[in-house]
Amino acid sequence: MRIAILGGDGYCGWATALYLSSRGHEIAIIDNFARRHWDFELGVQTLTPIRPLPERLAVWQQLTGRVIESYVGDITEYDFLSSMIGEFKPDAIVHFAEQRSAPYSMINRKHAVSTQVNNVVGTLNLLFAIHELAPDCHIIKLGTMGEYGTPNIDIEEGFITIEHNGRKDTLPFPKQPGSFYHLSKVHDSHNIMFACKIWGLRATDLNQGVVYGTLTDEVAMDEALINRFDYDEVFGTVLNRFCAQAAIGLPLTVYGKGGQTRGFLDIRDTVRCIELVCLNPAKAGEFRVFNQFTEQFSVLELAKLVQMIAGEMSLNVEIDHLPDPRVEAESHYYNAKHSRLSDMGLQPHLLSDALVNSLINVALRYRDRIDVAMFAPQVNWRTSRNQRRAASAMGRDLVFAKESL
Amino acid sequence: MRIAILGGDGYCGWATALYLSSRGHEIAIIDNFARRHWDFELGVQTLTPIRPLPERLAVWQQLTGRVIESYVGDITEYDFLSSMIGEFKPDAIVHFAEQRSAPYSMINRKHAVSTQVNNVVGTLNLLFAIHELAPDCHIIKLGTMGEYGTPNIDIEEGFITIEHNGRKDTLPFPKQPGSFYHLSKVHDSHNIMFACKIWGLRATDLNQGVVYGTLTDEVAMDEALINRFDYDEVFGTVLNRFCAQAAIGLPLTVYGKGGQTRGFLDIRDTVRCIELVCLNPAKAGEFRVFNQFTEQFSVLELAKLVQMIAGEMSLNVEIDHLPDPRVEAESHYYNAKHSRLSDMGLQPHLLSDALVNSLINVALRYRDRIDVAMFAPQVNWRTSRNQRRAASAMGRDLVFAKESL
């Protein structure tokens, strides 16, 4: 199968590209290195030292004999996107090429606007390009569980059957996203649903949970294939942050009460889900939505788990509750369905003590690269002009002061 | 009250500005004349010869002694928008400043992208500007009944209480918009709801039906104050098209079966609704949604009504059914609630024979300005590259041929 991975140099995209390549598919990576650029902008770096894409691909070819093509460019530029599709002729396109950080989108107006324009225009371009050049190509779009927010009813997979005043219909599940980033994904979902309806496109929208883990079998083959490990307050995810904090003996920082409950999954399940979806495409005109996660945890549950495993490794850490910089319910009902990918054959890797142990070990290995100024939340949802750079510089001064003690 | 009308040179905006000015409010019109520009782009013009804004405003001042301020600029440019708000200090902002034609958004990719970027970025800028400069200012946003689509259940006003698996919540009503334009309004609604939640803004989203009529008391005061009357296939609305067709003896063109049912209202009710909403603002943090229409009609019902009234005026016209250029249900259940504005005091002007008669008379008066090439639908939802210009030029040749007979 010919599969194009938009955003294939990023965290999920890279693991997916290697996995699908190892399974015998013809892969192209499309990327403009926006993710690497945002690291420069924010003054942060992945804990793991990732290599430039050409080096990654050369090593992959040396190890496996398999070639992954690369197209460097921006999918918000239609000429670039359409020429790639015309040339590569994909059977499926996996679309990871979006700005994916909620805090990034909440820094200020420019970041909110650039997130929504980048994500919405990229996806619109993709819909038009598929319609015009590859109408049978299956679009696999990464959405997010955050599209649903935290309603007081069970969350279904994309649609809900509603009985109302004696009549009944199955309608898109109501969305209550919690950041300008999450909103952009809701906008995308509506746009894709419409394109499937009017043009008969086939699309699967994967509302993914929070992904954890760095290692897949492929990434583990060589240090040069190492994947990202983001722990900073903007692009880092909560489990990574806790493991990095534990590795250097800092308190685990829980926002508010920590009752915020979300869906989570191992990156090994992300890549397997994408494969399952590629092998079982949506029908022409069909817009499917799968909830792509395997377990629910509250933030405080994860903190306690990391605290326990760290303790077993003789890393004794406290749990600190910080004021929540986000506007969100700190405790709430949460029960999200996620059976469709299991029905298709997913065998989940549930979060184990061993996995948390391995994540802490990754953090220990690269502890010299940890910038402790990057833990504290600097983007407050209630403010529209977060002075992130200044705050970061201040934080860095504090580190230097601390180090000089 | 100090009220800023974004898009105040357009059809609804102009009528609203004059009405609110006549009621003693301090009014500013903000406009970049995008609507006039789209007429040039499409090679069409309003049936009624509207005057340039400075002339309109000068005549209004001569007639009433009332000054309406004007700010010429584009709200997608934040510096312009924020300086206007800082200077005018509005108590309420009525936001009409969006690309509002479904067919325009469906011409091709560029028009889809420009519609969504223009509408979404303009509204995002407004939210940030209000938060930063005028946090108590009431945002009155024009949405559309088209956000809901045509579900098989009753349409509520913005929110619906859902019982599901033994639990209950009141959630945003599911949206199934039918064009890239209607989608842009859904995106806006989600963005505004979020901004109210995180920043405590006060907003009213008016999901307006199709507006008809040209005359309000204010517009009728002088020929120089005349409002738009769009009858073309891109910006024209169905009742206007039928009246223009009837005036020159052409068949009334119904798309498909004509069972498409929508909410409609008289422009005199639009301006009154806006006033009611200004006088009864949303609370801080509240995101309200009102369905702003007074009656439901199917397209075929309207065609038959116009045919009957035209007949009484000795204008005998046929009804033609054309293939529907849109992807939509040609007959469907439709029952949309619209009690909240009535509860607030709206006394609707229901569609009367006299009103249809007066619209046909407007069309008769300006019949020399009717371009018959502009009636036929040229934008097909199923195509992503509608060659509108070429088709229009061909149509125009046919007109010339007909006129030379």
Q: Does residue A392 register a pLDDT over 80?
A: no
Q: Does residue B66 register a pLDDT over 70?
A: yes
Instruction: State the average pLDDT for chain B.
Output: 95
Q: Does residue B398 register a pLDDT over 50?
A: no
Hey, what are A159's tokens? 């649609």
Q: Does residue A191 register a pLDDT over 70?
A: yes
Q: Which residues of A are identified as catalytic?
A: 144, 181, 185
Residues of chain A with Cβ-Cβ distance to B132 below 8 Å are 384-385
Pairing status of strand B287-292 against strand B202-208: parallel
**Contact flag B173-A169 (C-beta cutoff 8 Å):** no
Per-residue model confidence as pLDDT tens digits over A280-339: 999 999 999 999 999 999 999 999 999 999 999 999 999 999 999 999 999 999 999 999
Report d(CA A185, CA A194) in Å as an integer.
14
Report d(CA A165, CA A77) in Å as an integer.
47
**Contact flag B171-A171 (C-beta cutoff 8 Å):** no
| Nearest of B226, B228, B182 to residue B207 by alpha carbon | B182
**Contact flag B183-A172 (C-beta cutoff 8 Å):** no
Per-residue model confidence as pLDDT tens digits over B181-206: 999 999 999 999 999 999 999 999 99
pLDDT of residue A387: 84
Catalytic residue, chosen from B71, B148, B181, B334, is B181
Instruction: Find the closest chain B residue to A108 by CA distance.
Output: B128
Pairing status of strand A295-298 against strand B68-72: unpaired
End-to-end CA distance of chain A: 58
Report d(CA B308, CA A205) in Å as an integer.
49
Pairing status of strand B92-95 against strand B68-72: unpaired
Hey, what are B111's tokens? 């028009």
B120, B144, B188: best to mutate for the A interface, most A CBs within 10 A: B120
Would you tell me the crossing angle of helices A109-133 and B109-133 to the nearest 10 degrees? 170
Mean pLDDT of the region A8-17: 98
**Contact flag B173-A174 (C-beta cutoff 8 Å):** yes
Q: Does residue A65 register a pLDDT over 80?
A: yes
User: Are B238 and B299 spatial neighbours (Cβ–Cβ below 8 Å)?
Assistant: yes
Mean pLDDT of the region A268-290: 98
- pTM given for the model: 0.96
**A183 to chain B, minimum CA–CA distance in Å?**
7
Q: How many CA atoms lie within 13 A of A401 on its CB side?
A: 7
pLDDT of residue A267: 98
Residues of chain A with Cβ-Cβ distance to B333 below 8 Å are 167
Instruction: Find the closest chain A residue to B384 by CA distance.
Output: A128
Q: Does residue A75 register a pLDDT over 90?
A: yes
Instruction: State the average pLDDT for chain A.
Output: 95
pLDDT of residue B388: 73
pLDDT of residue A389: 59
Q: How many CB pairs under 8 A join A and B?
A: 145
- Which of the residue ranges A260-269, A395-404, B267-276 would you say has the lowest mean pLDDT? A395-404
Q: Does residue B395 register a pLDDT over 70?
A: no
**Contact flag B116-A112 (C-beta cutoff 8 Å):** no
pLDDT of residue B387: 84
Give the one of A117, A163, A190 whose C-beta lies nearest to B183's C-beta. Answer: A190
**Contact flag B183-A194 (C-beta cutoff 8 Å):** yes
Report d(CA B349, CA A16) in Å as an integer.
60
Mean pLDDT of the region A111-120: 98
Q: Does residue A348 register a pLDDT over 50?
A: yes
Residue A7 CA to its chain's centroid (Å): 11
**A327 to chain B, minimum CA–CA distance in Å?**
6
Q: What is the DSSP string of B138-200?
A: EEEEEEEGGGS---SS-B-SSEEEEEETTEEEEEEPP----SHHHHHHHHHHHHHHHHHHHH-
pLDDT of residue B137: 98
Give the one of B113, B116, B132 whose C-beta lies nearest to A384's C-beta. Answer: B132
pLDDT of residue A393: 46
Report d(CA A354, CA A374) in Å as an integer.
26
Hey, what are B379's tokens? 């934008």
Give the one of B113, B153, B167 whose C-beta lies nearest to A121's C-beta. Answer: B113
Per-residue model confidence as pLDDT tens digits over B339-377: 999 999 999 999 999 999 999 999 999 999 999 999 999
User: Are B5 and B96 spatial neighbours (Cβ–Cβ below 8 Å)?
Assistant: yes
Q: What is the DSSP string of B317-335?
A: --EEEEPPSS-S-SS----
pLDDT of residue A329: 97
- Which of the residue ranges A94-108, B88-102, B227-241, B386-400 would you say has the lowest mean pLDDT? B386-400
B113, B131, B380: best to mutate for the A interface, most A CBs within 10 A: B113
For residue A148, give the amino acid letter. Y
ipTM of the complex in this document: 0.96
Per-residue model confidence as pLDDT tens digits over A80-97: 999 999 999 999 999 999
* Nearest-5° Cα angle at A277, A273 to A281: 175
Whether B185 is a known active-site residue: answer yes
**Contact flag A125-B117 (C-beta cutoff 8 Å):** no
pLDDT of residue B62: 98
Give the one of A132, A162, A173 whose C-beta lies nearest to B384's C-beta. Answer: A132
Mean pLDDT of the region A236-243: 96
Beta partners for residue A252, in sequence order: A319
- Residues of chain B with pLDDT > 70, as a percent, come to 96
Q: Does residue B405 register a pLDDT over 50?
A: no
- Residues of chain A with pLDDT > 90, as a percent, come to 95
Report d(CA B405, CA B402) in Å as an integer.
5
Kind plus residue range of the DSSP H or E element containing A94: strand A92-95
**Contact flag A171-B172 (C-beta cutoff 8 Å):** no
Residue B109 CA to its chain's centroid (Å): 22
